[in-house]
Structure 1
Amino acid sequence: MDEETSPARPLVEVTPAAAGLIRRLRADHGPLMFHQSGGCCDGSAPMCYQDGEFRTGGSDVLLQSLEVEGVAEPVPFWMSVSQYEVWRHTRLIVDVVEGRGSGFSLEAPEGVRFLIRSRLADA
């Protein structure tokens, strides 16, 4: 399953707070990517990596490449196929809140973490 053939591809957007953090992380680390695995604990949160640092494969779906104002290139947002099956009819909203997330995600040292808010996608 890929972006072109997925029947009800979720829309992904970012809040202004998330966009600001993405711009800061981009300035510090270069091109970025997101992956949301659907695992337990922090695995169900969107993880931000340097683009290409997390290897994606046949068990992942590219939902969308995010256009973030002030970021030179689109930021790909990947999700595991199993998580995609659960979220396929929702609009995903990447937000940021105070608190420590996963040590693997680039925002961890900032004292904040990305999270997903959602609502049903328009039919």
Structure 2
Amino acid sequence: MYLIYTVSIIILLISSLVMVIASILSKKTLTDREKSSPFECGFDPKSSSRLPFSLQFFLITIIFLIFDVEIALILPMILIINYSNLMIWMMTSLIFIIILLIGLYHEWNQGMLNWSN
């Protein structure tokens, strides 16, 4: 048991030491105007380098993340069907899927799924 604690402390110390050394070595001492420019090619930009992004792409990304997490939550439900009470499993699965369908209907009703705009 003490061996596990000792190894854990050694690993924690080594990783902390590596992070501190990397942080010290990666500090930039001089800020260069050319390195700070958005293009790094030697000329000054005529307009702003930051273009406004489409809110539609942002919403699609958020929807993708939500459904990605939902899939990660649904997959283990299939694996535990043999180890749990069937009635409790069905109620939990049904409630979860109903919540997902209500969210999908809300997104559809708000027009977030229209890609043609």
Q: Which structure's relative contact order is higher, taking Cα pairs within 8 Å and 6+ residues apart?
A: 1
**Shorter chain as normaliser: what TM range?**
under 0.3
Higher strand share: 1
Higher helix share: 2
TM-score normalized with structure 1 length: 0.18
